[in-house]
Amino acid sequence: MTFSFSLSKQFVFFILAMPFLVIHSVSSLNLTNEYLNHKCLFDQGKYSSGSKYEKNLNHAFHIMRDETFAETGFSHTSIGTPPDSVTVMLQCRGDTYGSKCHTCSDIALAGLRKRCPRNKGGLIWYDQCFLYISTIGEEIPYRTNYKDIFSMHNHNNVRGDVKNFTKRAMDFFSELTLKVEKTVHDGLGLIFYSAGEKKLGKNKLYAMVQCIGLTLDCKSCLTLSIKKLFENGNIKQGARVLGSNCDVRYELYPFLRS
């Protein structure tokens, strides 16, 4: 089974087989940390070994490793002045903290360096985290970036009453979106994340919504992404839409009685 991905109009491609798992709980669905996609920001140029930019980049990651980001799942660090300035942003999935978040950040950095060697800017998505590196400072909080959005779909269609499934799934996403913002760790940070399961006849529906920690308008980003999940009439048993601001996902699987 394969998935088709799209990253704006300029990036349409196919990825090697990464099947949605046959899962029986939220916890089992979230065990993997698959590589999902990446984008090299070629217009930001490249850096040389031993350059000031490389030193700033390494320093930014050193700071990030020492921060409490693993407790909230989010980190944002900016160092230096142009043309050697570096901004590093990491967002772990809302249920990925502590050592898992640290591990995913290490994997993401190694993955981006491998796929975008010596590029000053780039983005990379894994199942458990998202990493963004840039030499161009951006206004904070981040406005929604509509260019770097891509989708994943299970090839199996939903069976039965598709319109009813779509309505109930959209209603469930609306419930999750209303719960997406909560303060953690005595004001240390915000988690823009919500996930859950709902029984639909003989099946269960898992759904997840999340925004990065510095998104200007989380709910608008989620609304747009959720619409993309169901924008064609060919509704699938699982789908995910990711970008540099938010991430939405659903999976339909058989309900097993305990």
Question: Which of 174, 148, 147 minimizes the C-alpha distance to 230?
Answer: 174
Domains of the chain plus CATH, in order, are 33-132 (3.30.430.20), 147-249 (3.30.430.20)
CB burial of 129-159 (b: ≥16 within 10 Å; e: otherwise) equals bbbbbbbeeeeeebebbeebbbbbbbeeebe
Q: What per-residue confidence (pLDDT) applies to 158?
A: 93
Beta carbons within 10 angstroms of residue 256's beta carbon? 9
Does an H or E element contain 224, and which? helix 218-229
Q: Is residue 9 a contact partner of residue 41, using CB atoms and an 8 Å limit? A: no
pLDDT for residue 2: 33
Alpha helices, DSSP H, located in 13-161: 26-29, 52-66, 69-72, 99-115
pLDDT at 45 over 90: yes
Could you give the angle at the alpha carbon of 138 between the alpha carbons of 133 and 143, nearest 5°?
105
Burial of 101 (0-12, 13-18, 19+ CB in 10 A): buried
Q: Cα(54)–Cα(196) distance, rounded to whole angstroms?
A: 41
User: pLDDT, tens digit, for every residue of 176-215?
Assistant: 998 887 655 445 556 789 999 999 988 999 999 999 888 7
Distance CA 132, CA 134 (A): 7
The whole-number pLDDT of residue 231 equals 87
Q: What's the pLDDT score for residue 28?
A: 41
The closest alpha carbon to 100, from 128, 64, 61, belongs to 128
Question: Are the beta carbons of 182 and 233 closer than 8 angstroms?
Answer: no
pTM, entire model? 0.82
Give the mean model confidence (pLDDT) for residues 110-126. 96
Q: In sequence order, what are the residues at sequence separation of 6 or more whose Cβ sits closer than 8 angstroms to the Cβ of residue 206?
A: 23, 26, 29, 195, 196, 197, 249, 250, 251, 252, 253
